[in-house]
A and B are shown apart, each in its own frame.
Chain A
Amino acid sequence: MNILEVKNLTKQFGGLTATSDISMNIEKNSITAVIGPNGAGKTTFFNMITAVYKPTSGDILLNGKSLVGLKPHQVSQFGIARTFQNIRLFNEMTVLENVLVGMHQNLKAHWVGTLLQLPHIRKMEEAAKVEAYDILKYVGLEDYVNENAGNLAYGAQRRLEIGRAMAAKPKVLLLDEPAAGMNPKETEKLTNLIYDLRSKLDVTIILIEHDMKLVMKISDYIYVLDHGELIASGEPDEIRTNKKVIEAYLGKGAVAND
């Protein structure tokens, strides 16, 4: 069953076409990779799904409901969470608070109730903290609960972003270059984490990634973008041998000389 359907999605910035006429069907509970050279329009594509950008034309359907025209926070409430290519944590807040913010849409606490110290709200806050702690344990940050997020090491910040996105209990999780800047050991840990995430949260994962080893190992299906256009799609083995893909990555000459 398809959880997310993207239909003829186009985004133009003035005269520049960032993505043109992209269509995708993303199956529930799958791991899908979106790859392509720098500037191919991958992050623009993510930004359109999360309503940071409004598409020039085309449609995005989550479980058959259109997401186009919604506000970013509404898209998030529909069940789409994401991480960012250039890490965007709440740097001046603690690691635990970052995860708690991720949980916000599942916390029904009106501020009047907070002021009155209603018992059920206090209980909910306590339970949320325990749950946040469990998430931190899961992404391996349980030793940094009270640390400011901005003080974490790079790899830890990436994991915290994933933890924060997990906390929202999304249906679809978008990971924008989760392995960027990681060493091979960290990448391997991350690969296992993503793999595990899918079964644990029963979530559909779409990721943008340049680390081909990771992409080939992890994905069920791959979409390849180049210059804003979808040039290929298929299972990892098909993509590996696809001429157009090799051309996009290595240049025309590389294929000809082969």
Chain B
Amino acid sequence: MSALFDKIAQNKKNQVILFIAYVVLTGLGLFLLPDSTIAFLLLLFSILVLYYLNFNLRAKWVTGIAILAVLVPLIASHSDSYQTYMEVGTLVGIYCAMALGLNIVVGFAGLLDLGFIAFFAVGAYTYAIFASGQASKFMPFGHYPLPGDTFWIFIFVGALVAALFGILLGIPVLRVRGDYLAIVTLGFGEIIRILLNNMDHPLNITNGSMGIASITPPKFFGISIGNASQFYYIALGIFLVVIYVVRKLENSKLGRSWKAVRDNEIAAQAMGIPLVKTKLAAFAIGASFSGMMGAVFAAKQMFVDATSFTYLESTMVLVMVILGGMGSVPGVILGAAVVIILRTQVLTNISDWLSQMSTNYGIPIPPALSPEKMQLLIFGLLLIIFALYRTQGLIPHKNRKVDVELLKKESAAAALEREKSTSGGADS
């Protein structure tokens, strides 16, 4: 069996054929069984398969984007559950971006944040307030709601405001570490939620517990965006940008500074890394991803209130990061996808199935036992299992390896160059 795997791994042509066969098969499966959630999930799974093939990076990216942007929506559009599938896809995109943001804070910089959903809330409310009549209740000038075209600007405004809140949170908590930091961030998350829930007097900014309704849907060149299938592309677009940013930062000067601070604060400072600036950058950049997706979330739901941003949601994002693998970008993406699909598809399906069983066959299953209601228990158990048997997550973080042979060559070339220039200098 393993010999077979080795053979496949060595031969690129076999990999291409097998991968295409897999995609065609699962695609056909979804086409023929359009209402089967399993077929849909298997098709999505092809992205993970793609990750493990040893194509070159660019080919992987192009194939992956083609599958997500063209193939999946195309095949799913034949299904009655098209919008449901795309809704799940959008949610996965939103949470992936958020988990990648939290991964910068927790995975790279080693700052445990238990209130991360606050930044998502800030982004969501930023768009919600200005894209509904809400803003006219406290803004002395301007006409509200702003038109749907401004949504695209608000993606950035959301990011900016969230980053600002990231820094606001960052400044007071920089002095505490570890468990203390976790508690303070937890408190921060709750403060933001409670504030949003109560800021309807004396000045009505958030409309309190009533929430903000009838948020203007985004407009793209005059087309109003209201379907999950359309939001899917927005979420996918932002998600791709976020991956790009994270990938580039991870192996840059800033990324190394984060990891250095995580591994040893004192040594990092002794090497000239400014602690405050580095930590604040992690908070701000991580928060900005959440803020962007918050704006998308508000536009998609067309309604926001504080109940969407509870402590449970912060925990869920953290579960995604830990489940996937702290510090590992592909791991965190997989973790986010697994958690969202578990929550929205698998658990609800099992619950439906169980309730069907009880009505059809008279097996009494109390509704309190339905898996949908035991989310916290299930994710808690999952975390315990991972803590015991796979501490590094689904796809453990790997440091990027450099090509030593290439370095050796370049180093020799550089030495030659130096020699030339010094001997040249001696000659003249």
Q: Measuring CB to CB, which residues of chain A are less than 8 angstroms from any residue of chain B?
A: 50, 52, 71-73, 76-77, 81-82, 84, 88-94, 96-97, 100-102, 104-105, 107, 109, 111, 114-115, 117, 125-126, 129-130, 133-134, 137, 142, 145-146, 148, 164, 168
Q: How many contacts A-B (CB < 8 Å)?
A: 125
- Chain B residues with Cβ below 8 Å from A107 are 253
Pick the 8 closest A-B CB pairs, nearest first. Answer: A76-B272, A105-B272, A90-B263, A72-B269, A88-B267, A114-B252, A146-B401, A133-B407
Give the nearest-CB partner of B413 in chain A.
A130
Tell me if A109 and B256 are in contact (CB < 8 A). no
B residues in contact with A142, CB < 8 Å: 404, 408
With the chains together, A73 CA to B252 CA distance in Å? 19
| Cα distance, A36 to B298, chains bound together (Å) | 66
Q: Decide yes or no whether B316 CB sits under 8 A from chain A.
A: no
5 contacts between A and B (CB under 8 A): A76-B272, A88-B264, A90-B260, A93-B263, A146-B399
CB pair B402 A96 closer than 8 Å: yes
Q: Chain B interface (Cβ within 8 Å of chain A)?
A: 244-245, 248-249, 252-254, 256-257, 259-260, 262-264, 266-275, 281, 327, 399-402, 404, 407-408, 410-411, 414-415
Q: How far is the CA of A96 from the CA of B245 in the complex (A)?
A: 23
B272/A115 in contact, CB under 8 A: no
Please report the C-alpha to C-alpha distance between residue A142 and residue B405 in the assembled complex, in whole angstroms. Answer: 11
Are A111 and B269 closer than 8 Å at their CB atoms? no
- Contact, CB under 8 Å: B259 / A92: yes
Say how far B42's CB is from chain A's closest CB, in angstroms. 35
Interface of B is mostly: helix
The complex places the Cα of A82 from the Cα of B281 at a distance, in Å, of 26
Residues of the B chain whose Cβ atoms lie less than 8 Å from the Cβ of A117: 248
With A and B bound together, what is the CA distance between A50 and B327 in angstroms?
30
Contact B411 A130 (CB under 8 A): yes
**A204 vs chain B, min Cβ distance (A):** 17
Find out whether the CB atom of A104 lies under 8 angstroms from the CB atom of B253. yes
Given contacts A81-B270, A92-B327, 16 further A-B contacts (CB under 8 A): A50-B270, A73-B271, A73-B272, A76-B270, A89-B263, A90-B259, A90-B260, A92-B259, A92-B263, A97-B256, A104-B253, A104-B272, A107-B253, A111-B254, A114-B248, A130-B411
Closest beta carbon of chain A to B363's beta carbon, Å:
50
For A137, the chain B residues whose CB sits under 8 A away are 411
- Chain A residues with CB under 8 Å of B407's CB are 129-130, 133, 145
Q: Is the CB of B414 within 8 A of A104?
A: no
- Nearest Cβ in chain B — how far from A127, in angstroms? 8
Q: Given A89-B264, A90-B259, A111–B281 Cβ distance below 8 Å?
A: yes
CB distance from A256 to the nearest CB of B (A): 43
Given the known inter-chain contacts A73-B269, A90-B264, A100-B256, please indicate yes or no for A145 contacting B402, CB distance below 8 A: yes
Q: Cβ of A93 and Cβ of B245 under 8 Å apart?
A: no
Q: Which residues of A contact B281 (CB under 8 A)?
A: 111
Residues of B contacting A102 in the complex (Cβ-Cβ under 8 angstroms): 271
**A84 CB contact (under 8 Å) in B257, B267, B274:** B267
Q: Nearest chain B CB to A92's CB is how many angstroms away?
A: 5
Cβ of A71: which chain B residues have Cβ within 8 Å of it? 269, 274-275
Interface pair B267/A93, CB less than 8 Å apart: no
Of all chain A residues, the one with the shortest Cβ separation from B259 is: A93
Q: Tell me which residues across on chain A come within 8 A of B270, comparing CB atoms.
A: 50, 52, 72-73, 76, 81-82, 84, 88
Q: Measured between alpha carbons, how far is A101 from B245 in the docked complex, in Å? A: 20
- Asked if B249 and A104 sit within 8 Å, CB to CB, the answer is no
Bound CA–CA A117/B407 (angstroms): 21
Across the interface, which residues of B come within 8 angstroms of A146, CB to CB?
A: 399, 401-402, 404
Alpha-carbon distance between A77 and B262 when the two chains are bound, in angstroms: 20
A90-B264, A104-B253, A130-B410 given; A115·B273 CB < 8 A: no
Please tell me if the beta carbons of A129 and B402 are within 8 angstroms of each other in the complex: yes
Please indicate the chain B residues that have their CB under 8 angstroms from the CB of A96 in the complex. 402
Q: Hey, which chain A residues are within 8 Å of B254, CB to CB?
A: 111, 114
CB A85 to nearest CB in B, in angstroms, measures 12
Residues of B within 8 A of A89 (CB): 263-264, 267
Most buried by A among B256, B270, B273, B402: B270
A81 partner residues in chain B, CB cutoff 8 A: 270-271
Cβ distance A94 to chain B, nearest Cβ, rounded Å: 5
Instruction: Judge whether B411 and A134 touch: CB under 8 Å.
Output: yes
Smallest CB separation, A33 vs chain B (Å): 20
B411 to chain A, nearest CB (A): 5
User: B268 contacts which chain A residues (CB < 8 A)?
Assistant: 90, 101
- CA–CA, A129 and B402, complex, Å: 9
| Contact in complex: A101, B260 (CB < 8 Å) | yes
Is the Cβ of B273 less than 8 Å from the Cβ of A130? Answer: no
Chain B residues closer than 8 Å to A50, beta-carbon distance: 270
Question: Does the CB pair B399–A97 fall under 8 Å?
Answer: yes
Please determine whether B271 and A93 come into contact, CB atoms closer than 8 angstroms.
no
Q: Are A115 and B249 in contact (CB under 8 A)?
A: yes
Bound CA–CA A94/B402 (angstroms): 10
> B399 touching A90 by the CB < 8 A rule?
no
* Contacts A90-B263, A94-B399, A114-B253; A101 near B271 (Cβ below 8 A): yes
